[in-house]
């Protein structure tokens, strides 16, 4: 064996290049760490075989390339799932076969090798070019795979981040849901409390309006009771007079007839005024309790007149110095209207009470000479609707107050004198309970007019 043979160093160089490329492309230090310890030293077998070739006549390059190709083939088989491993096999196969055949022929048939040497060397060059080309292809494949792997890792990282965000959002949603559920429960409890408070306030407002009625009812009911007492006393006197006449030996039948006629008239008047007192009491009872909600044909003129006088006398019971002019203009053609009498009566009482309060305040505060407090009630039938107008010449209201006058708990009265629910409840009774309308017109310092319309 001649150590100075250039082919020996070329073979070792190619083997080292091939092993290094395979290790880099297939990443054997990471994928096959135990095998890589031996695989990277496979070129040392060349020096061993070369040394043995000096002692024994042996084609050492044949065995060397068998070792190299065998080591590469074993490596690619272990990593056969990789696309680059298959490319490396394709790259090495022509060169490995050609080198093996060349060295065998050269060792066994040296004369024949001299004949085909030129062709073999040309084929070796092409095989080497093939090897280098596919090694480069394999490296490009590895880079592409690394890019794909990097993209997959990025996608995996993005998915991981998305999953973390999703979990975090789900956790936040669960927390928010728990907070909303708690707030809902708190709101439901608050709503229950609010409804209870509303019921109490409505009851308070009803009792307040009932209080306004008390003094007026006492005054109104006193008149029919006085008539009943007076006619009862007169009737007793007439009965005594009739008894005396009947006890006489000579009875005056005409006088007895006149006395009986007077008694009949007195009893009729007692019945009339008793019925008047009874109707007042009945109205008070209807006002003090919730009705059945049933509409009944009602004389709006009589209802308005009765509550107007009750409201007036109720205020006079508190302030004996207060006097006002009550002006009524009732449309007699209006007839009866189907309403819930106690509810509409409560609305009218509220409007009348506010009207008397407004004229009383103007009288007290402004003290205008010649000012006469006046509350006017008019009824009419317009466009198949019953219309009630309640007007006063009191303090009036600015535009800003008119816009809020029907809002719950809004009041222009001082603290302790109003609940702020009277007009709000009145609005609901007329609009929701009777499908009507209620509107206000006012000029500050001049007076106010409330207009109620009801389907006739």
- The ranges assigned to domains in the chain are 6-161, 294-456
pLDDT at 390 over 90: yes
What's the pTM?
0.47
| Average pLDDT value for residue range 169-198 | 87
| Average pLDDT value for residue range 18-28 | 82
Q: What is the pLDDT of residues 407-430, one digit of tens each?
A: 776 676 665 555 556 787 888 889
Q: What is the pLDDT of residue 218?
A: 60
Q: What is the pLDDT of residues 441-454, one digit of tens each?
A: 999 888 999 999 99
pLDDT at 44 over 60: yes
| Average pLDDT value for residue range 360-385 | 88
Q: Are 409 and 359 in contact (CB under 8 A)?
A: no
Q: What is the pLDDT of residue 292?
A: 56
| Average pLDDT value for residue range 221-231 | 69
Q: What is the pLDDT of residues 316-346, one digit of tens each?
A: 777 778 889 999 999 988 888 999 888 888 8
Q: What is the pLDDT of residue 9?
A: 67
| Average pLDDT value for residue range 144-153 | 86
| Average pLDDT value for residue range 250-255 | 76
Highest mean pLDDT among 77-81, 93-97, 186-190: 186-190
User: How far apart are alpha carbons 437 and 140 in whole angstroms?
Assistant: 87
Q: What is the pLDDT of residue 221?
A: 67
| Average pLDDT value for residue range 91-105 | 80
| Average pLDDT value for residue range 27-33 | 84
Q: Class assignment of domain 294-456?
A: alpha beta
Block residue for tokens 């005024």: 273
Q: How confident is the model at residue 2 (pLDDT cuts 50, 70, 90)?
A: very low
User: How far apart are alpha carbons 191 and 188 in whole angstroms?
Assistant: 5
Q: What is the mean pLDDT of the chain?
A: 79
């Amino acid at each position: 064996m001649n150590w100075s043979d250039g082919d020996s160093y070329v073979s070792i160089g190619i083997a080292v290049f091939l092993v290094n490329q395979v290790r880099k492309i297939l990443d054997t230090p990471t994928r096959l760490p135990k095998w890589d310890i031996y695989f990277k030293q496979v070129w040392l077998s060349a020096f061993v075989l070369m040394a043995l070739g000096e002692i024994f006549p042996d084609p050492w390059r044949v065995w060397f390339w068998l070792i190299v190709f065998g080591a590469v083939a074993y490596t690619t088989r272990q990593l056969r799932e990789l696309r680059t491993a298959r490319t490396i096999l394709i790259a090495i196969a022509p060169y490995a076969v050609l080198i093996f055949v060349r060295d065998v022929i050269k060792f066994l048939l040296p004369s024949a090798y001299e004949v085909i040497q030129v062709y073999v060397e040309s084929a070796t060059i092409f095989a080497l070019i093939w090897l280098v080309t596919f090694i480069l292809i394999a490296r490009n494949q590895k880079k592409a795979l690394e890019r794909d792997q990097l993209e997959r890792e990025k996608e995996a990282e993005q998915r991981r981040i998305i999953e973390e965000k999703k979990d975090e959002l789900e956790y936040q949603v669960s927390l928010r849901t728990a907070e909303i559920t708690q707030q809902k429960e708190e709101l439901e409890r608050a709503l229950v409390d609010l409804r209870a408070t509303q019921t109490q306030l409505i009851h308070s407002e009803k009792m307040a309006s009932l209080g306004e009625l008390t003094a007026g009812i006492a005054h109104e009911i006193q008149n029919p009771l006085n008539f009943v007492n007076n006619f009862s006393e007169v009737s007793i006197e007439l009965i005594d007079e009739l008894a005396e006449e009947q006890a006489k030996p000579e009875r005056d039948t005409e006088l007895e007839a006149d006395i009986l006629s007077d008694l009949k008239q007195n009893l009729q008047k007692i019945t009339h005024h008793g019925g008047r007192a009874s109707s007042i009491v009945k109205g008070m009872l209807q006002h003090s309790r919730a009705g059945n909600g049933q509409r009944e044909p009602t004389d709006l003129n009589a209802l308005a007149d009765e509550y107007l006088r009750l409201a007036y006398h109720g205020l006079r019971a508190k302030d004996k110095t207060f006097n006002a002019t009550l002006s009524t203009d009732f449309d007699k053609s209006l007839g009866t209207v189907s309403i819930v009498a106690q509810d509409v009566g409560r609305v009218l009482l509220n409007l009348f009470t506010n009207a008397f309060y407004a004229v009383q305040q103007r009288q007290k505060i402004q003290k205008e000479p010649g000012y006469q407090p006046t509350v006017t009630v008019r009824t009419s039938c317009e466009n198949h609707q019953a219309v009630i107008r309640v007007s006063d010449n009191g303090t009036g209201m600015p535009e800003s107050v008119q816009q809020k006058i029907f809002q719950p708990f809004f009041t222009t009265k001082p603290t302790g004198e109003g609940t702020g629910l009277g007009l709000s409840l009145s609005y609901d009774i007329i609009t929701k309970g009777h499908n009507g309308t209620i509107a206000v017109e006012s000029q500050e310092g001049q007076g106010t007019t409330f207009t109620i319309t009801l389907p006739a």
